[in-house]
Structure 1
Amino acid sequence: MYELAPNIELLFTEAGDYHDRVRAAAAAGFSSVEMWGPTGVDAPAKPKDLPALKAALEETGTKLVAQLAEPRTQFMIPPRDHSEFYRKLDEGVAIAQDLGCPRIVVGSGTGFGGSKRQTQLDDLAEIYRKAVAQIEGSGITLALEAVNVRVDHPGSLLDRTAESAYVARQVDSPFFGILYDLYHSTVEGEDPATELANAGELVKYVQLADAPGRGEPGSGAIDWPAALGILRAAGYDGPIGLEYYPTQESAASVQLIQRLAAKA
């Protein structure tokens, strides 16, 4: 049985503010949630009332399993000043610790046309080696996400699972790995079984949405029993974030994946 974590930026918005979305998710049978940036410095994330959010998590016994790093830095674009990323990383870690969140999702930003791709990948690894050293002892894991450039994130440096795995191997830390997003991987035309066979031991978190459309499972063409079976065969048994744009009311949109995850 997989632990599912609705994204409270996109799901249970009918309930109102973020803390009420946690309560609505718990009422719908979920024990975990995920969110985007806690302070809302990057659109489309919005600022959270962190004390109210913490109270809702504690009241319902719900775990926050992932949050995003802030800001979503353009690492490779000149003048390549990363000081704000490192400053906010400490703040994000402190928030994650206060909320009981074990992982922070990080990205690559836009690729730079004036530098070789391999050079940029190696530079990104060095940036994250420094980040891991900075937060050493915090207990927080950083999960690097590759995103599709065909539909949602044109220009992103990291659009291939194999390249995010390459960076993770260069960082070489138990507190650094990859986020495997089944939606982004599918849109990029990757074969999930192949990608997970090559990078399975590095996967620290998984997210999903159906494709095409990025709606709830069942709204697109992905074979969900097969997809969950691939994750299980690859050895992944952690939480799965539901990061999709629902095409119907939230509680109805989760019913298929809840039923399938209970059997996976």
Structure 2
Amino acid sequence: MYQLSPNIELLFTEAGPAHADRVRAAAAAGFDAVEMWGTAEKDVPAIAQALADTGVSMTAVLAEPRTNFALPWETMDAFFEGLDRGVEAARTLGCPRIVLQSGVGFGGAKRSVNHERLVGIYAQAVERVQGSGVALVLEPVNTRVDHPGTLLDFTADAVLVARAVGSDSFGLLYDLYHSLTQGEDPVAELANAGDLVHYVQVADVAGRGEPGSGDVDWAARLADLRAAGYDGPIGLEYVPTTETTASVAHVRAVAADA
């Protein structure tokens, strides 16, 4: 059975604005893992205490700010400084991975040139986190609905970048919602990515609601993940159409048989 990790930015909001309270609510609902977005402006020590008190693990946090370089002469100082802060917070939370997103590239350059610059940036990022116990995962996101203009929108492009970085501590976050929204075939993408897939997130299509609210055959999709060799946690990063406990019922049932 897959370990399901609710995103506490979107789920268990019924517990209130404090993320520590959402951790406790997730534990009360029977989850042993959660994920969240960035750590800036959050009470990281309180969240860490809630994790310790409940035995819940934090599976992923998001780097802030994103990699954005709209102009070729822009430096990545803000990105690297934010990454350093993110690593410190991740270690406090016992979180093993930080999610990176490409943001936009320079519109005056070829796609391949933008990708080459990303490779250089992420190679430096890997060096900065070396020895921290925190790994990096790169997430391509769809441009058709949610993130117009994003540089890495197809899984295959993110695979090329990750392979060029060439580090065991640098992999991919494969988000089924983004992949399906972008019109991809998960079986083909997972086969191409191979063992680069270090983390997975899900939401239904269309609408980004909970699994079971849209058109996705979740039993088949989770079977695809299993067949591709993925057995890690699955982040539940969806916008619930009902209260959290009810919204997770379908994916819990499907994951129990996956």
Q: TM-score, normalised by structure 1?
A: 0.96
Q: Aligned partner of 1:20: which letter?
A: D
Report whether the alignment pairs 1:18 with 2:12. Answer: no
In the TM superposition, 1:7-156 aligns within 5 A as 7-16=7-16, 17-39=18-40, 47-156=41-150
Q: Which runs of 5+ in 2 are unaligned?
A: none
SS class of match (2:59): strand
How far apart are 1:68 and its partner, in Å? 0.3
Quick one: percent identity of the two aligned structures?
61
Structure 1 unaligned regions, length at least 5: 40-46
Give 1:98 shift.
Answer: 1.0
Match for residue 43 of structure 1?
none
Alignment of 1:223-262 (within 5 A): 223-262=217-256
| Superposition deviation, residue 81 in structure 1 | 1.4
Q: Secondary structure at the match of 1:11?
A: coil
Instruction: Give the aligned partner of residue 162 of structure 1.
Output: 156
One-letter amino acid matched to 1:29 = G
The equivalent of 1:44 in structure 2 is: none
Q: Are 1:218 and 2:219 counterparts?
A: no
Q: Which amino acid aligns with 1:162?
A: A
Q: CA deviation at 1:135?
A: 1.4
AA of the residue aligned to 1:221: D
Q: Secondary structure at the match of 2:229?
A: coil
Contact 1:34 1:65 in 2 (8 A): yes
The CA deviation at 1:210 is 0.1
On the 8 A contact 2:176/2:186 being kept in 1, the answer is yes
Give yes or no for contact 2:69–2:106 (8 Å, CA) kept in 1. Answer: no
Take 2:73 and 2:124, find their aligned partners in 1: how far apart are those partners?
18
Matched length: 257
Q: How far off its partner does 1:77 sit? A: 3.1
Between the aligned partners of 1:209 and 1:247, the Cα distance in structure 2 is 12
- Which whole-Å CA distance do the structure 2 matches of 1:204 and 1:88 have between them? 22
Q: CA deviation at 1:76?
A: 4.3
Paired letter, 1:138: S
Distance in 1 between the 2:235 and 2:153 partners?
19
Q: Which residue identity lines up with residue 126 of structure 1 in the other structure?
A: G
CA distance in 1, matches of 2:11, 2:90: 21
